[in-house]
Amino acid sequence: MDSSKSNNPVYSNTDSGKVDISDEQWKKALPSDVYHIAREKGTERAFTGKYWDHKDVGTYYCAACGNPLFNSNGKFESSCGWPSFFEPISKGSIIYAPDNSYGMKRTEVMCGRCRAHLGHVFEDGPPPTGLRYCINSVILDFEKAKGLEEKARTKK
Ligand SMILES: [Zn+2]
């Protein structure tokens, strides 16, 4: 956990208990860009996030609460400008809601632990799922898989 999380009492990579705190508490706990995406359902501009072109092996966590959301092996290269995944890390890691804002019929995806807005899921992804989870980089924390790196080193 880095120092930017020190104001965040709910952040945990291991506690899967549901988080339900007020927007006021979230405002204190989160940096303003994360709050804007997570609680105000904002969208970062395409090709500006830190993970749309990110290829390291590891795990993506919810930046608001630490819940594991995606594995790098569920990520694929998409030209849309946001990090794109074809499957979440587990079934319960994400929840879904219909979103008919801006005159579009879309499906919103939220963190299964704290209900932070993550992005949307579309049905134009690659096999095996055919899904494209289009996620804001701002709401993701990435942790490199350490074990794999060590294995690669010992091989040399
Ligand atoms: Zn969360």
In the chain, what percentage of residues exceed pLDDT 90?
85
Check if the beta carbon of residue 93 is closer than 8 Å to that of residue 68: yes
Which residues are annotated as catalytic?
134
Check if the beta carbon of residue 17 is closer than 8 Å to that of residue 122: no
Q: How many whole angstroms separate alpha carbon 66 and alpha carbon 15? A: 9
Q: In what order do the strands lie in the sheet with 68-71?
A: 68-71, 58-62, 140-144
Check if the beta carbon of residue 52 is closer than 8 Å to that of residue 82: yes
pLDDT tens digits for 37-79?
999 999 999 999 999 999 999 999 999 999 999 999 999 999 8
Which tops the pLDDT comparison, 125 or 146? 125
pLDDT at 80: 92
27 is in which domain, residue-wise? Answer: 3-155
pLDDT at 133: 98
Distance 154 CA to ligand 1 centre (A): 35
- The total of structural domains in the chain comes to 1
Res 87 pLDDT > 80: yes
pLDDT at 153: 60
Distance 94 CA to ligand 1 centre (A): 9
Q: In what order do the strands lie in the sheet with 75-76?
A: 75-76, 84-85, 132-135, 117-122, 106-111, 94-99
Distance 112 CA to ligand 1 centre (A): 7
pLDDT at 154: 59
Q: How many whole angstroms separate alpha carbon 129 and alpha carbon 8? A: 34
Burial of 129-156, coded b for 16+ CB within 10 Å and e otherwise, reads eebbbbbbbbbbbbeeeeeeeeeeeeee
**For the domain that residue 50 is a member of, what is the CATH number?**
2.170.150.20
Per-residue pLDDT, averaged over 93-107, amounts to 95
Residue 3: pLDDT band by 50, 70, 90 thresholds? low
pLDDT at 99: 96
